[in-house]
């Protein structure tokens, strides 16, 4: 009975985390900076654009649940709820789209910086530069 490669454990993950930056120092630092900048931009956009609108929608939903449908203020509450929900949807779609394009650009930059170096997984679990 042939024994397969040992399962990738936590220490194997740490080993690769140390070896990858040591192998490609010229690639690692720009990619780390790019990744940190993109992650920061996404978190900032989420905090400033998406979350306040989500709070507005929740407050509108709470007001709608407490309002009497026969009251004169109810149609105004519904309009405000629909407006806030629409703006939340627009900002959420914009954030997801920006995330998609940033990830795509980051992957393209990584491939450009690699300069034709491709790694393949060998049957024993090692990586080989081809």
- Classify residue 48: in a domain, yes or no: yes
- Classify residue 85: in a domain, yes or no: yes
- Classify residue 54: in a domain, yes or no: yes
- Whether 34 has a pLDDT exceeding 60, the answer reads yes
Per the structure, how many domains does the chain have? 1
**Cβ-count burial of 11 within 10 angstroms (0-12 exposed, 13-18 middle, 19+ buried)?**
exposed
Give residue-wise pLDDT tens across range 81-105. Answer: 999 999 999 988 988 888 787 777 7
Range of the structural domain that residue 34 is part of? 27-114
- Classify residue 75: in a domain, yes or no: yes
Note the pTM of the prediction, 2 decimals. Answer: 0.58
- Classify residue 71: in a domain, yes or no: yes
- Classify residue 17: in a domain, yes or no: no
- Classify residue 120: in a domain, yes or no: no
């Amino acid at each position: 009975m042939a024994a397969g490669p040992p399962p990738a454990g936590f220490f194997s993950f740490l080993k690769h985390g140390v070896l990858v930056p040591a192998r490609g120092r010229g690639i690692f630092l720009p990619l780390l900076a790019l990744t940190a900048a993109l992650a920061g931009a996404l978190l900032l956009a989420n905090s400033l654009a998406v979350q306040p609108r989500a709070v507005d929608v929740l407050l509108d939903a709470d007001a709608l649940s407490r309002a009497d449908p026969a009251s004169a203020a109810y149609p105004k509450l519904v309009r405000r709820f629909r407006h806030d929900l629409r703006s939340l949807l627009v900002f959420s779609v914009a954030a997801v789209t920006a995330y998609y394009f940033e990830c795509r650009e980051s992957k393209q930059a990584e491939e450009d910086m690699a300069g034709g170096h491709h790694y393949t997984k060998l049957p024993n679990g090692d990586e080989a530069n081809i």
